[in-house]
Amino acid sequence: MRTGLDHAGGVGPGGDPTRGAMSGLRALVRVAGFGRPVTGRLMLAVAAGVAASGAAIGLTATSAWLVSRAAERPPVLYLMVAVTAVRAFGISRGALRYGERLASHDAAFRVLSRLRGGVYARLERLAPAGLAEFRSGDLLSRLVDDVDGLADLWLRLLLPYLVAGIAAAGAVALIWFLVPAAALVLTATLLFVAFLVPVFTSNLANRGERRIAGARGELAAATLEILTGAPELLVAGAAEARLEEMAAIDRRLAGAEARTAAGSGLGSLLSGLATGVAVWLGLLAGIAAVRAGSVGGVALAVVVLTPIAVHESVAGLVPASQHLPGLAAMARRLLDVVSRPDPVAEPAIPEPLPQGPYGLRCRGLQARYRSDGPDALVLPDVDVRPGDRLLVTGPSGSGKSTFAAVLVRFLEPSSGSVELVGSDSSIDIRRLSGDDVRRVVCLCAQDPHIFDTSVAENVRLARPEATNEEVRAALAAAQLDGWIDSLPDGLSTLVGERGARLSGGQRQRLSLARALLTDAPIIVFDEPTEHLDEATASTLAADLLAATAGRAIVMITHRPELIDSATWTARVDLRGSGPEA
């Protein structure tokens, strides 16, 4: 599935994510491409915005003409058209502005929906191996705050410039028709506000904007780390130091925001000065034109007051331009995640699964997490036939969890192969879709994630359509039925965040119940006895094997002494002893 975020050249791991403005602009252009399907709605918002700005300018110009003409005391009928126009402009301005806000936000939210969906679809292909380099808090900030913040690309940058540019061009044409010299002055001041003022304020605002996104990510990561590790930090007496580190990050964020605010204030000051220059120089040019007889005295008020309305519509460009570096930083941070190479290359046309029952055949298998890194796994040749039980042992860091990741297509082998062996044929798992592989090979991780919901919903994650009876049967096979019966709310009992209300053994058994609910013929247990005492670990291991009778089992552990060796068909020691019958 192509998401539109694949291979965002120039900002991935092979490049430097801080290469400057050009890299940020390229990232913004790529993100802006998500707005193509709603171009019609964006153009409707631009049209409504131009009409609203035109109504505001028309209100000021018509009011100026009406006041000046009324001072000459003409018959009241001479003023009725202008009076009607003033009312029409005044009423329509609010309605058109509301229409612009409605259309622009509708378009922006639709674009964000597509962007968010594309990001999540991309993450599904990257997780978990492709995201290992990111801290969870920073990753959350990138994928929530940065994605949401990119709405400003359309709402506060592109739309204001398009609306202001078109409306200002119409106003300059009106003033040019009356006093060309005043129109030239107005054009110069508008260009100054739209393009030169952002340059003057960039040293203050832009540097702050570029730092804000990164500081927010650091603050989110530090906050999450303190919240999740609070008990350990308090016991070790390190809480104060970590809080001070978080406070330092917060001070950096506040400083960056203050710098941005200072730049915005300077921009507003320069914009106000430009408005004054346009009014006074326009007045002088208008007076000269009146004296020369090229324009009437009544029109002089239009020439003088119209620049105020025009500059009011263009004044929003100063803060709009100051969003550019922040948006570029957000786009770079987001694309730095989603443009990383796939840890697994899905086949263009996946082949169908062979007929069961299933086994596995590994030949010359090696794997690494980075193309330029060392091998994290070197596995001797091994076969797992239907119903076999393979014990994989080795010290920490020998590649046991890497082997599990390869078997479920979370990681691509760097050499060698893993074949899924059926009754009629065998096929390299790289020619199968990852979802098909994981329907056959189920992984019970060493630290299963338990969601903050009920027991039933945590187990039903493996098969959402499963009934309560099927869930209870899976829990009974995992030796949790007695515990369930003792709970006040049974299957509806909430387990707390990350399973805080469960013991380590209960969390592992809950993970086993998930695996049993899938009916997967091959189950990979990655360190299921980790963090458990010896008695609990031995009991759990025996129950795991009893519950999975008839299935092919790959048990990965560095504590083989806790498991009866007579139960294994074969054994692999990743320190190099090879398979043992």
Please tell us whether the domain made up of 21-216+257-338 is placed in CATH 1.20.1560.10.
Answer: yes
Q: How confident is the model at residue 8 (pLDDT cuts 50, 70, 90)?
A: very low
What percent of the chain stands above pLDDT 90? 27
CB 386 within 8 A of CB 420: no
Q: How confident is the model at residue 550 (pLDDT cuts 50, 70, 90)?
A: confident
What pLDDT was estimated at residue 7? Answer: 44
What pLDDT was estimated at residue 395? Answer: 84
Return the CATH number of 359-580, one of 3.40.50.300, 3.30.300.30, 3.90.180.10, 2.60.40.10.
3.40.50.300
DSSP state of 142: I
What pLDDT was estimated at residue 19? Answer: 45
Closest CA to 61 of 308, 291, 314, 315: 308
Secondary element (H or E) of residue 129:
none
Q: How confident is the model at residue 332 (pLDDT cuts 50, 70, 90)?
A: confident
Higher pLDDT, 40 or 9: 40
Q: How confident is the model at residue 57 (pLDDT cuts 50, 70, 90)?
A: very high
What pLDDT was estimated at residue 577? Answer: 43
Higher pLDDT, 454 or 315: 454
Q: What is the average pLDDT across 462-491?
A: 88
Residue 319 pLDDT > 80, yes or no? no
> For 60-103, how does the pLDDT look when each residue is reduced to its tens digit (9 = 90+)?
999 999 999 898 888 888 889 999 999 999 999 999 999 999 99
Residue 418 pLDDT > 90, yes or no? yes
H helix runs in 71-143, sequence order: 80-126, 136-141
DSSP string for 435-461? HHHHHHEEEE-SS----SSBHHHHHHT
Q: How confident is the model at residue 315 (pLDDT cuts 50, 70, 90)?
A: confident
What does the domain layout of the chain look like in residue ranges?
A: 21-216+257-338, 359-580
Among 168-172, 260-264, 460-464, 492-496, the minimum mean pLDDT is found in 260-264
Q: What is the average pLDDT across 170-192?
A: 92
Q: What is the mean pLDDT of the chain?
A: 83
Q: How confident is the model at residue 441 (pLDDT cuts 50, 70, 90)?
A: very high
Residue 431 pLDDT > 90, yes or no? yes
What percent of the chain stands above pLDDT 70? 91
Q: How confident is the model at residue 202 (pLDDT cuts 50, 70, 90)?
A: low
Among 199-208, 407-416, 442-451, 489-498, the minimum mean pLDDT is found in 199-208
Q: How confident is the model at residue 578 (pLDDT cuts 50, 70, 90)?
A: very low
Higher pLDDT, 196 or 552: 552
What pLDDT was estimated at residue 562? Answer: 67
What pLDDT was estimated at residue 563? Answer: 67
Most confident range, picked from 257-266, 369-378, 470-479: 470-479
Report the C-alpha gap between 564 and 544 in whole angstroms.
Answer: 12
Closest CA to 324 of 405, 213, 241: 213
Most confident range, picked from 125-139, 273-287, 513-527, 567-581: 273-287
What pLDDT was estimated at residue 5? Answer: 59
Residue 522 pLDDT > 50, yes or no? yes
> For 267-286, how does the pLDDT look when each residue is reduced to its tens digit (9 = 90+)?
788 888 999 999 999 999 99
Counting beta carbons within 10 angstroms of the beta carbon of residue 90, is it exposed (0 to 12), middle (13 to 18) or buried (19 or more)? middle
Phi-psi region of 522 (alpha: psi -120 to 50; beta: other; left: phi over 0): beta
Q: What is the average pLDDT across 55-61?
A: 92
User: How far apart, in Å, are the Cα atoms of 115 and each of 101, 136, 146, 321?
Assistant: 21, 20, 11, 22
Among 133-147, 371-385, 426-440, 441-455, the minimum mean pLDDT is found in 133-147
Residue 207 pLDDT > 70, yes or no? no
Pairing of strands 441-444, 522-526: parallel
Task: Write out the E strands in 194-316.
Answer: none
> For 333-389, how does the pLDDT look when each residue is reduced to its tens digit (9 = 90+)?
888 888 888 888 888 899 999 987 999 999 999 998 877 778 888 888 999 999 898
The b-or-e profile of 54-82 (16+ CB within 10 A means b, else e) is bbbbbbbbbbbbbebbeeeeeeeeeeeeb
> For 11-26, how does the pLDDT look when each residue is reduced to its tens digit (9 = 90+)?
333 334 344 444 767 8
What pLDDT was estimated at residue 217? Answer: 75
